Structure 1
Amino acid sequence: EDDTEWITVKGAHIPIKKGENKDEVVKSFLAKQGGGEKKKTDKPSGSLSNQSEGELIKSIKAGSKDFKDWYRSEKNEKEYAEIERRNKEVPKPKRPEGAGGTIFQDDPNAISKYETKIKYLEDVGDYWKKITKFPARDYHTRPTQLGDAKYYEMSNNSANLNTTRKQLAKVKTRKESGATLERKVTYKGGKPRFYYKENPKEGTSETINFDGIFDNVLNALRKETK
């Protein structure tokens, strides 16, 4: 008596002999046909969530060294979208009170305000370092896509940070020297504006004009008497 059982899998008839495990036989058959179950360690087909940022960028470049081939398109839209999704998960630093707006040089709290602003700009710089930059710039989405905005935001923040540090150093130097600022009105461009004239501490011979040029009065007098 033949105890063989025949079953149909994907249009093929396969025998299940007595004592054999039906599931194992089917699994073995599918594996030979290339349709077997994938190992748990295999990445799901089409899944991008398990890929690193480097792998996503590599996929966008697709082996090409020409940056024109890296532009955002239908073939790499999913990779670009995944990079941006991760970028938006990076927590952005909150602007503290006193870190925004104009800081006037004659403000008695100028030093503390500059220090607060510098700390904030440093945090902003660290934030942008964590953002993954798109392989190619997309000028159409720049205002809304962090991966594209990183190109210019990093540069702007760095320039702003350097300027603020210089302004802080100037205020500290002035405070140490005992000099004071005097606001002077000007009508450049037909509109009333003000500029600073820096007056040295009483007893010194040096006057500093608002444009930062040093005019040593004592030396000037000596030259005139020669």
Structure 2
Amino acid sequence: MLQPALSLVLEALREIRDSREKPFRVSRATLNRLLESRPDHNVADIAAKAAALGQVRDRVCVCMKCPHLARSRTQTVFGVGNPDAELMFVGEAPGADEDARGEPFVGRAGQLLTRIIETMGLSRDEVYIANILKCRPDMPKGVSGNRPPTPEEMRTCIGYLIEQIKIIQPRVVVALGATAVEGLLGARRMMRELRGKWHSYHD
């Protein structure tokens, strides 16, 4: 599922790398690296983004818009990474592992995503990772596994992701799977119609 997304982002990633004065290294993001990445952004810009994301996170933590999800969740899963990231990954919803840890993409799919990010010469701290839904979709009692979010759940929760994108202002957003594409583009489409093409995102 992640391989097509990887191929779509490589060209933009090369442009991002070429715009840097120093080669990319796999290391923890530091303020100096952030400023190298976006030289027009100063310390105050980055701090303001982090503070704005924190305010959105606070609202997400107490969100009750979907009562059934608020009852079933262990905790909300907001997002993680660089508040000034040029590259953002968006999945569909937290799974059981993410619900337990409060961080997106920490299960098996997350391990694959981490390897892909590292293959690009980046670390998770240098990109931003989030989901359409901030709560794990509930499952019937006694049933294991995960389910995709419903269209109504996505419509209810998408506003938080839109706020994240507006604050971070990434150059590239990679939708990880058909459900994430539906949430971002607002319509269900066949993946074969979408792969290999760039799409403009407008909130």
Task: State TM-score, norm by structure 1.
Answer: 0.23
Larger Rg: 1
| Structure 1 or 2: more helix by fraction | 2
| Structure 1 or 2: more strand by fraction | 1
For CA contacts below 8 A with separation 6 or more, give which structure has more relative contact order.
Answer: 2
